[in-house]
């Protein structure tokens, strides 16, 4: 096929799949497999999905994210786990994405249903190592994870 076109139907289907996924997120990969040198994918994420605060340590593992739909909160942390910055990301806004270098503690929270972003990072894919997962944050799937996600979510509530 000479071209792959991306329409709103793709984003709708991806968001529906994320809502049905126990982790409340779903990828649509454009790369052929986990060993490809460049990982390019759409990622749908729903409110309540917990992304453990993490950092990337391996050379070349910086990441770029561009919002396509919805509102996403980006949280940056210092080494002790204190919030150092928050950024509200949304398409066609003042802040529609980010690029993070190595050794930056970060997480994201979906602020509304239907969030979809496009992410690019170098391959091959490898799961986060223990050293890349924040020792001060609950592990994904742990009883405390959902309460911590809700706490992060409140950083973006006005009032």
Q: Do the strands 72-77 and 25-29 form a parallel or antiparallel pair, or are they unpaired?
A: unpaired
The one-character DSSP state at 132 is: G
Q: Does residue 159 surpass a pLDDT of 70? A: no
pLDDT of residue 3: 81
CATH superfamily of 8-154: Jelly Rolls (2.60.120.10)
The residue-averaged pLDDT of 154-158 equals 91
pLDDT of residue 59: 84
3-state secondary structure of 12: helix
The token pair at 38 is 């460049």
**Every domain of the chain and the residues it spans:** 8-154
Global pTM reads: 0.94
Residues 24-77: pLDDT tens digits?
Answer: 999 999 998 888 999 999 999 999 999 999 999 988 889 999 999 999 999 999
Residues 67-118: pLDDT tens digits?
Answer: 999 999 999 999 999 999 999 999 999 999 999 999 999 999 999 999 999 9
pLDDT of residue 153: 96
104 half-sphere exposure, CB direction, 13 A CA radius? 17
């Amino acid at each position: 096929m000479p071209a792959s076109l991306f329409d709103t139907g793709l984003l709708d289907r991806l968001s529906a799949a994320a809502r049905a996924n126990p982790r409340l997120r779903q990828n649509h990969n454009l790369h052929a497999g986990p060993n490809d040198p460049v990982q390019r994918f759409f990622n749908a994420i729903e409110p309540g999905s917990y992304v453990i605060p993490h950092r990337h340590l391996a050379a070349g593992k910086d990441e770029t994210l561009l919002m396509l739909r919805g509102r996403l909160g980006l949280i940056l942390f210092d080494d002790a786990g204190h919030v150092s910055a928050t950024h509200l990301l949304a398409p066609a806004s003042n802040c529609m994405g980010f690029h993070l270098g190595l050794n930056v503690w970060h997480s994201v929270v979906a602020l509304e249903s239907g969030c979809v972003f496009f992410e690019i990072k170098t391959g091959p894919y490898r799961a986060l190592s223990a050293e890349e997962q924040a020792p001060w944050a609950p592990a994904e799937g742990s009883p405390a994870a959902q309460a911590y996600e809700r706490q992060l979510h409140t950083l973006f509530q006005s009032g």
